[in-house]
């Protein structure tokens, strides 16, 4: 079994994966005075049980790297995964400064792009299984991506240089993160995005309307469940026609992934009608139900 946790951090994103191998992955960071101690204690305890810990930065925006210096101080980040960039900001925070230090550290940084491979991200070796993580985007040669990268390096928004990250459990769930990609950019690159069928999709840009996924990409992924982030409700896209979990209401969300099923737990009592009741328990959480993974055929992307 592997466990994915989507931390409830307010206006931001932070996730971790306890792999069913000797791997631990953190995706993005958003620490505040209110959650810092709780999250750092949890992640430090869980990651200490694994031989390899990696941090994946989808993109260098404040709500995805806030408190990175605290995480680094606590864990000592040795494997820092990010896109290759020279992003600048008008308002330079301590967290962004630490991001740049890690990004530019030849010993710690690994630059991710579409199709990249690395031991033990998606390669096994030396007696250790892979983490099951693949990078589906960016393509550094894509003209739209180049324009967005230049824009971000000149101080503009880094949203559209976000990486697309896939985690897949053998015989179990396929999970996708899309950072803060925006709708127009996704429309521009949709013919280059080879997206798989997805069981759990974390909606880009915290579920905002500005990051609504084009219908052709949704059709290709056919997500069984869309997790909508913590943006203000008036800004959210609720993905009509798809089963959704809203983190604004659910709080922390834990996904226990095993072959053929995902058991879903929330820190707030949260009821949905599309999950089956398999009477599972997890200390400190409410059981929302189980997503049963039935076999299905891949749909070709438009």
The 10s digit of each residue's pLDDT in 232-278 is 889 999 999 999 999 999 999 999 999 999 999 999 999 999 999 99
Q: What is the pTM of this model?
A: 0.96
Determine whether 280 is exposed, middle or buried from the number of CB atoms within 10 Å of its CB (0-12, 13-18, 19+).
middle
Instruction: Give the CATH superfamily of 2-292.
Output: Ribonuclease Z/Hydroxyacylglutathione hydrolase-like (3.60.15.10)
C-alpha 121 chain-centroid distance: 15
Helices 68-75 and 36-47: crossing angle in degrees, nearest 10, is 40
What does the pLDDT look like over 202-226, one tens digit per residue? Answer: 999 999 999 999 999 999 999 999 9
Exposed/middle/buried for 227, CB within 10 Å: 0-12, 13-18, 19+?
A: buried
pLDDT band with cut points at 50, 70 and 90 for residue 296:
confident
Rounded CA separation 301/196 (Å)? 9
Would the pLDDT of 61 be above 50?
Answer: yes
175, 167 contact by CB (below 8 A): yes
> Domain locations in the chain?
2-292
- pLDDT at residue 298, as a whole number: 56
Beta bridge partners of 226: 201, 244
| Cα distance between residue 161 and residue 163, in whole Å | 7
Q: Residue 297 has what pLDDT? A: 64
pLDDT for the residue numbered 300 = 44
């Amino acid at each position: 079994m592997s466990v994915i946790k989507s931390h409830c951090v307010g206006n931001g994103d932070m996730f971790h994966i306890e792999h069913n191998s000797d791997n631990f992955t953190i995706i993005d960071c958003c620490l505040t005075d209110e959650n810092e101690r709780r999250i750092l204690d949890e992640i430090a305890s869980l990651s200490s049980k694994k031989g390899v810990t990696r941090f994946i930065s989808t993109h260098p925006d404040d709500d995805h790297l806030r408190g990175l210096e605290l995480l680094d101080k606590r864990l000592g980040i040795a494997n820092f995964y990010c896109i290759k960039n020279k992003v600048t900001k008008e308002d330079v925070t301590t967290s962004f400064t630490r991001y740049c230090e890690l990004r530019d550290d030849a010993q710690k940084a690994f630059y991710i792009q579409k199709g990249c491979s690395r031991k033990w991200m998606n390669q096994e070796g030396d007696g250790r299984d892979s983490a099951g993580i693949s990078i589906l985007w960016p393509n550094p040669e894509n003209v739209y991506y180049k324009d967005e990268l230049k824009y971000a390096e000149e101080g503009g928004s880094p949203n559209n240089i976000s990486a697309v990250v896939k985690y897949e459990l053998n015989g179990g769930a396929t999970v996708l993160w899309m950072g803060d990609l925006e709708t127009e950019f996704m429309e521009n690159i949709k013919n280059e995005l080879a997206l798989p069928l997805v069981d759990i999709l974390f909606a880009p840009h915290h579920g905002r309307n500005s990051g609504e996924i084009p219908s052709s990409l949704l059709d290709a992924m056919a997500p069984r469940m869309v997790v909508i982030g913590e943006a203000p409700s008036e800004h959210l896209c609720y993905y009509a026609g798809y089963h959704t979990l809203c983190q604004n209401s659910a709080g922390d969300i834990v996904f226990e992934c095993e072959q053929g099923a995902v058991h879903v737990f929330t820190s707030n009592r949260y009821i949905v009608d599309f999950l089956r009741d398999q009477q599972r328990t997890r200390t400190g959480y409410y059981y929302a139900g189980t997503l049963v993974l039935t076999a299905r055929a891949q749909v070709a992307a438009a």
